[in-house]
Amino acid sequence: MSCRLIYYDTETTGLKAEKDRIVEIAAYDPSNDRYFEALINPGCSIPAEASAVHKITNEMVADSPNFADVSRKFIEFCEGDTILIAHNNDNFDVHFLRHEFRRNEIPMPEWKFLDSLKWARRYRSDLPRHTLQFLREIYGIAANNAHRALDDVIVLHKIFQTMIDDIPVEEVYDLIYARTAGSQATPQAMPFGKHQGVPLAKVPKHYVKWMGENGVFEKPENEGLKAAFIKLGFLETSNAATTT
């Protein structure tokens, strides 16, 4: 595949994608040296503890557009065959995007996603931590306004390019999300999570539904698990929604 890279980051009202909202999204397209940055009115109050982290207040977003308006511009910015890269993407940013698109009834483009944190953990296992700011220090990148989306995106771009060196990003993607025989094997029990070790037939259907809503079955390494739940009748083949 030959894809354009877009580095992106989100700031939110909290940590739970199913109930919290995005208040800022930023992105950088190095191939065209273009930046995207937008504050978003989440339609709810920003908790003080969230503002303490990213410094975005209710007053700052009061006159900002909602996600539906911002999403259209973001889609245009990321048009084409694109890989979106974020640090801790697979456990955070992409879930917020999916929930926001779903909540606003806007089809989310079929972007590819890459989690730079997974690459750092796998190929820099010598490091005690893999946070964006720790990696910034390790690679000698100048300090920034940490936790504001665009600043984090700029730092991420510099870090990621240093980490992968001259490895083509397509190869990096394949190494992170390689569809090995083990990952495609049909499991007999839950391989992870709070029901780890429980036979699949005994996993609560509401938990399977939660996994579907949070994009767990969209990850390449979980295709075998998805197939097993479809076979059990817990999922529909069309959209991985749970059956009633």
Give me the sign of the Cα torsion angle 53, 54, 58, 59: positive
Q: Which domains does the chain have, with CATH numbers?
A: 4-176 (3.30.420.10), 181-232 (no CATH)
Residue 96 confidence (pLDDT): 96
Residue 183 confidence (pLDDT): 45
Q: Would you give the DSSP letter of residue 199?
A: B
Residue 108 confidence (pLDDT): 95
- Give buried/exposed letters for 28-67 (b at 16+ CB in 10 A, else e): bbeeeeeebebbbbbeeebeeebbeebebeeeebeebeeb
Q: Which two tokens stand for residue 117?
A: 């944190």
Cα–Cα distance measured from residue 182 to residue 179, given in angstroms and rounded to the nearest whole number: 8
Residue 120 confidence (pLDDT): 94
Residue 107 confidence (pLDDT): 94
Residue 237 confidence (pLDDT): 59
Q: Catalytic residue among 54, 95, 147, 157, which?
A: 147
C-beta atoms surrounding 178 within 10 Å: 11
Who contacts 48 (Cβ-Cβ below 8 Å, separation ≥6)?
Answer: none
Residue 239 confidence (pLDDT): 42
Residues of the chain where predicted confidence (pLDDT) is lower than 70:
1-2, 146-147, 178-185, 237-244
**pLDDT, tens only, 149-191:** 898 999 999 999 999 998 999 889 888 886 543 445 577 888 8
Residue 7 confidence (pLDDT): 98
Question: Cα–chain-centroid distance for residue 31?
Answer: 21
Q: Closest Cα partner for 49 from 20, 90, 17?
A: 20
Determine whether 147 is an active site residue.
yes
Residue 244 confidence (pLDDT): 32
Q: Which position has the token pair 């993607």?
A: 173
Helices 116-123 and 149-164, packing angle to 10 deg: 40
Residue 185 confidence (pLDDT): 59
